[in-house]
Chain A
Amino acid sequence: MNFVDLRLKLRHFFKKNGKIIIIILIIWSSIFFINRILKNRPVNLTPETTFEMHTSVMDVSTKTPSSLRKPIEDVIDEYVGYCNEGNYQKAFDMLSDDCKEYEFNNNVEDFMSHVISKMPVPKKYSIQDYSNFKCGNKTLYVYQIKYIDDLLATGLTNSQYAYTSEKLTFYRDNNKLKMSAGDYMYHTDIKNISENEYLKLDIIDKLVRYSTETYKVKITNRSNYTVVISDQQEVDEVILTLPNETRKCLEVDDIVLNPQQTIEVEFNFPKFADDGDESNSIVLSAIRVMEKYSGTQDIEQEIIESEKANAISKFSMEVKVTE
């Protein structure tokens, strides 16, 4: 191939593909210059931190809406300010009605005890969105607040790094921001009943804190015998059933009912409010109707076993806790 052929071929090639080559050049040049513009744009240097106050720790894809962030910060600042000043009534007044009623029995002294347990002396604080989740038709924004000494002023001189914390929960109600303290999330009335010839179980209500569910249960012994619900002689005497698992009751006292007696007890189960599982029922799995019952304290195991063996009836009862 001589030079003239090569020239003709090149000319032919450019004539045929000229437009495509120009388009490619335009695209390449555009990318080049856009890249150059982006590289040279003025950058505002700011310290990057992993601290994102309004991004949920439990699910980083959820954030508190921008419209609520400042109000929440302001409310917390005011609340801690009142607590630090010892103005407990004003801090108490900032809480939602249901939190006041169910967490603090509408009693400012109960609230004061709670605050003093968390911050016996004035404290600084820091907050972090911990979890955001739906509860019925409202969204709860759960913030963890850490109460801490003024570390910068002391440099931890003669002290250890320590803090107390609790969950403060926020939700919108008729466009008003409501706050709960003391890990309180919400409360529901249940009114579910289960009964047989010996016993009647009446679930009155449920109080949900961030990491526990507490059920108030009325138990009526309809028989003329002693009925034992729990005396630590059987395993899993009181359990909460979830869709795929069960939870043991925390710290169950002995529950023994005399003939025809009615009592109210509270069952407290470990359960995170934001785990997505709905509790199904409470099961009393080892109820015993006793002909004779001497208790368990200072009683020989042999006698306990003998009385258990002579029980008139042994059964379990389940009562739904869904509304």
Chain B
Amino acid sequence: METLRFVAGRFLQDRVALIGAVLILLLVLAAVFAPWLATHPQDVSEFHPADRLQGPSLAHFLGTDRMGSDVYSRLLYGARITITIAVIAISVSVLIGVPVGLVAGYYRGWFSELLMRVSDIFLAVPQIVLAIAIAQTLGPSIENVILALSATYWPFWARLVYAETRSIQNEVFIEASIALGVSPLRVMITHILPNIMSSIIVRTTIGMGGTILTAAALGFLGLGPPAPSPEWGRTIAESREFLPDAWWYATAPGLAIFLVVMGFNLLGDGLRDILDPKIRRSRTHDR
């Protein structure tokens, strides 16, 4: 509780992290309240060819696209897709990667080696290439994008947790618990995991940004959810042929992706500084 208040206090002083948090908050609000915020909620699936490619106006804040749909409304609904993909893909990656890293880091032997070599193989292939291969093979859909991202992202958490577990195992309090007769599972869950949690949180925050970027790239390549989905990557791909005349068409989703990814990166960097006890101590002395 005390720690929480301390972190919250430091957080408010850290402007960069705060900007990141605000950007992410805006994304979440946009996604949750999309039906109320959107001026033309039906435009996600409806077309008005007569109004195509109109510039920003009071009727269409961000103009209209090639089908005459409202870009602003579609952007809000696109946020829902982005959040869904990122949250599920990251959760799956964490749920696979963290236990794999814990077990491989705690035990020593051929099984640990096997787990880490498998994750090395995944890491050796460029992530976007692997994701393209998976999405291409299984066909374009939200589910397959999530699957492709989960399959390519979990090794990052496995690596991180493995390294953190190995290093914390040299701490006396871990050995003391083992000597006391605490079972391996209990040591991992009650001692190791809470002590490496801050690294996992930081990695997960920054990972969200990366996942959103990769998801948009898959959408851009036509491997994301099929038309008429308002997915941001797909929207940018559709808008290319109308550049530079219909500049609003590409700028809106492009700027959205940029701000959201930057938001997660800023928040992640800020959290790293706040949660790292060594940096925390030196910063406290500075004051």
A, B bound: no
